Structure 1
């Protein structure tokens, strides 16, 4: 299937097709005939996920885990729907996120605050609750079993206070959700990947993000898997870029802090300029209008998150 990217070691990325190709991955780990999904994308993509599992010889009852990095709906929107389709799957989630999986009403309200009601319904559909007895709350150093494989949990705030990462002990690879940024394949040049911080509302905390990125890099994984999108290597280089860019995003936010009613537009303009400079510096495959079009939604959401962070600094 074109929607499956096989990285070896029993790890694949399923292209959910959310919004556009290669935007949101559902990663799958297979061991001893059992499977775990890392993040779920959204309700409209459940058929794609089930078809990809079947293509790997995995039936619904062979899925043991739905591993959520965090509960933002592009990562967790299909968790309830998939739980109903995967009868043996338990859902792992940070304790701060668990209550929103059993009762997603406040999660939906928060998403509407970012996207608006119409876009939320169009993108995410109805968010289904999950029975409490199927939820496993995880935090730092929780250990999960998938057949003979061990998956260890890291508590990694910065993007969100309820964000965790999953370390596959068989490979040392790490599934990082949004903590290690986003890395769109369209920007790759000659096999060289690039990363950008994800500062979407409403729990961006730069110091915590720095610490989480440093923790991931300190484990020296050969590869990490970002939800947006797929496997990246050369982790130490990318971590250094993330540290530099987190500071650059914060500086851009502070530069717009006194702009009043035009702050949001000024923040977006500052981020666009910053990213154009980064495209030239790093020789991205896309720059100019093509780059801005690809990153338009991210610029908008990152600007919202930075504005929210500014407001918390100066209540």
Structure 2
């Protein structure tokens, strides 16, 4: 099993690389070392052994984990929650009100992911273990959770990527755990001297107006840093919001144009990739840079979500 050492993010925060989709640096599990040891997002079940290894390397006992918070219930963020609980006997899972029943009975989540990933599903996500109802805690907009004498987390309803999504404000770090609502951080481009941030518009609850409102809400909070589901920490939130909102407009305009021409997800993905490639070419990114493999997969899934949104809009 390939692993990487946990990353110290300061403020008693660390990140464990779960190697989601078998890829390093894809999905992170955040460790909040407070009186009540807390994790944010689990990744899928194949990430769970890496989480346990990361806790060991941090000198932490899984039996001391009290809360496992999932920003939303997509399998790449919450699919491993049920399995992880088997090694964390004192832990409870904190989830958005719209997500609780799907963690207790993940059959619809599994069916949706199988439709997208097909014969790759088992290797990427299996097993998806139900979370016992008595180990679920539901937190709605504005609710709080005290995890330490000087650390009370606040939950913010943040739809746009998914209706069952919340983000978490962490006063100890001055940071926001934004899951997928504030986009993906393509840290792979750090070797080119910058990082790219793109929105995540995957099906089946993508709503661009809700995403804009959520990001504007983040902006008003004046957080000092963002903790991304994919992947890592950013300490220039305002620049992130500006970039993601700009690309969100381009994603929707491109989708509308292709859709009006009778095109579908493949054509939208191709058009979006052309735009991203041109942007990266201007930044002197080599045409064979590894980031393109990740972009191709992400943009296709985002194209599916754009089509789904436009079909619903058309009625």
TM-score (norm 1): 0.94
- Residue 147 of structure 1 corresponds to 148
Query: SS of 1:151's equivalent?
Result: strand
Deviations 1:268-312 (A, max 9, x none): 11111121133245x274556644323111011011111111111
Map of 2:26 onto structure 1 = 23
The CA deviation at 1:193 is 2.8
| 1:1-315 alignment runs, 5 A limit | 2-18=4-20, 19-32=22-35, 34-116=36-118, 118-148=119-149, 149-188=151-190, 192-260=194-262, 262-280=263-281, 283=283, 285=285, 287=287, 290-315=290-315
1:119 Cα offset (Å): 1.7
Tell me if the contact between 1:144 and 1:150 (Cα under 8 Å) persists in the aligned partners.
yes
Report the alpha carbon displacement of residue 113 of structure 1 after superposing the two structures with TM.
Answer: 2.1
1:229-268 deviations in Å (ceiling 9; x for gaps): 01012111111111111100000100111343x4222111
Deviations 1:148-182 (A, max 9, x none): 22111010000000100011122220111101100
Give structure 1 stretches of 5+ with no counterpart: none
Contact 1:187 1:286 in 2 (8 A): no
Give the TM-score of the pair, scaled to structure 2: 0.94
CA distance in structure 1 between the partners assigned to 2:131 and 2:31 by the alignment: 20
Contact 2:5–2:57 (CA under 8 A) maintained in structure 1: no
Query: Where has structure 1 moved over 3 Å in runs of 4 or more?
Result: 189-192, 284-291
Unaligned runs of 5+ in 2: none
Q: CA RMSD in A?
A: 1.7
